[in-house]
Amino acid sequence: MDILLVYGGRSAERRISLESAGFVAEVLDAAGHNLIRLEIGAKGEWTLDDGPVQLRALPESWKLAGQDGVVDFDLVFPVLHGPLGEDGTVQGLCEMAGWRYAGADVMTSSLAMNKVATKRMFEWRRLPVLPWITVRASRSLSTSELTGELSPPVFVKPARLGSSIGITRVDNLDRLEDALDHAYSYDCLLVVEKALDRAREIEVSVLGGPDGASASMPGEVLPGKEWYDYEAKYECEDSRLVIPADLSSDLASRLKTTAEKAFEVLGGTGFARVDFLLSPKGDLYVNEVNTIPGFTSISMFHRLWEASGIPPKRLMERIISEALTRRRIGRERPVGE
Ligand SMILES: Nc1ncnc2c1ncn2[C@@H]1O[C@H](COP(=O)(O)OP(=O)(O)O)[C@@H](O)[C@H]1O
Ligand SMILES: [Mg+2]
């Protein structure tokens, strides 16, 4: 199959995308697919297999043209993390263009990328979330709003980013203003959330399908720092993944069911990694859903599937088949339907 691998991007998570794309390319290539590489540069420019590219909005299906003419492909595989990639924008472009694409659709992507929208959907479905409020840049947060359940320690986060970028843990109100300023430098929409002390970080991979979502076994992240910040994620050699997570079978199965529900309430298309925080007492909270989770050779997403009996090549085939059979909005029915 001819697959257009789209990677790089403008977001602060660009570097991670380059690493993830390397691994995805290796697996797709080994599975015999023909890869066409489209890199989105840090300033948003597109480069197709090292040359300039044009987008032609033709009737039915838009076309990409490189130096040697039109480039045809069967599927787009976006490996972009963060805004303008993981958030439904690139997926929307694919819908407009009439291109099938791997991973979550527009709605699942944009809901999952937005921590405010995600939490509202979780609350609606009665999935457990930590106490939180939303703050917009247009309005300052008075300290009186941070009382009771929401008194420090809290986490201040940009609503639509990932990789822990722009996030600060605030233990003391004196630090709140700086934390808000820092998060505002990335997004005008923020989340302030009660910190869960000594939380365990448990993650579950999910795959969408015509009969609903299916979940992998849970894994655990041991951050190697006080919390899983950018450095702990990508630079700290002490961070470790434990697969499977050391949990009772009851809790493991509750995590799987909750991960499926969390994914489905956001639309349940494509694939995702659902992240939880588990208190020392055993209380479980859904933290977030990543629709294009890290995909480097050591990433949790595919390692959880591998431990659950689906190695990377088969995982890719599942992802591709879900993408090819998904019913598209405003388009023809798939063959045989
Ligand atoms: N409420 C919380 N209590 C304890 N730790 C938290 C909380 N929120 C976030 N963290 C820590 O910050 C990390 C990043 O937060 P997260 O919401 O997952 O943002 P991102 O989308 O950037 O990954 C988490 O993996 C965890 O280590
Ligand atoms: Mg996270």
172 with 313, same domain?
no
Beta strand 2-8 pairing with 34-40? parallel
Which residue segment(s) compose the domain that 174 sits in? 132-194
Q: Is residue 330 part of a domain?
A: no
Q: Is residue 336 part of a domain?
A: no
Residues in the chain: 337
R_g (Cα) of the chain, nearest Å: 20
- Give me ligand 2 centre to Cα 329, in Å: 30
Read off φ and ψ for residue 136, nearest 5 degrees: -105, 155
Closest residue by CA, ligand 1 atom 2: 195
- Quickly count: other Cβ atoms within 10 Å of residue 260's Cβ: 20
State which of 287, 288, 292, 300 you would mutate to test the pocket of ligand 1, scoring each by most atoms of that ligand within 8 A of its C-beta.
Answer: 287
Q: Is residue 181 part of a domain?
A: yes
Read off φ and ψ for residue 176, nearest 5 degrees: -65, -45
Mean pLDDT, rounded, of the chain: 92
Q: Where are the alpha helices (DSSP H) in 60-175?
A: 89-97, 106-113, 115-124
Task: Look at the block and give the residue holding tokens 């055993």.
Answer: 282
Give whole-number Cα distances, 3 to 12, 24, 25, 38, 265, in Å. Answer: 25, 11, 10, 10, 29
Amino acid residing at 263: F
Closest CA to 4 of 59, 56, 65: 65
- Give the DSSP H or E segment for 240: strand 240-242
pLDDT, one tens digit per residue, over 183-232 is 999 999 999 999 999 999 999 999 998 889 999 999 999 988 888 888 88
For the Cβ of 277 lying below 6 angstroms from any atom of ligand 1, the answer is yes
118 with 232, same domain?
yes
176 with 98, same domain?
no
183 with 258, same domain?
no
pLDDT, one tens digit per residue, over 120-179 is 999 999 999 999 999 887 666 666 667 777 889 999 999 998 888 999 999 998 899 899
Q: How much is the pTM?
A: 0.94
Of 178, 194, 210, the residue that ends a domain is: 194
On whether the CB atoms of residues 23 and 296 are closer than 8 A, the answer is: yes
Domain count for the chain, please give it: 3
pLDDT, one tens digit per residue, over 45-99 is 999 987 999 999 998 889 999 999 999 999 999 999 988 999 999 999 999 999 9
Task: Look at the block and give the residue holding tokens 């843990």.
Answer: 169
DSSP labels, 171-192: SSGGGHHHHHHHHHTT-SEEEE
- Give me ligand 2 centre to Cα 85, in Å: 17
Q: Is residue 331 part of a domain?
A: no
- Give me ligand 1 centre to Cα 300, in Å: 16
67 with 47, same domain?
yes
For the Cβ of 275 lying below 6 angstroms from any atom of ligand 1, the answer is yes
Q: Is residue 337 part of a domain?
A: no
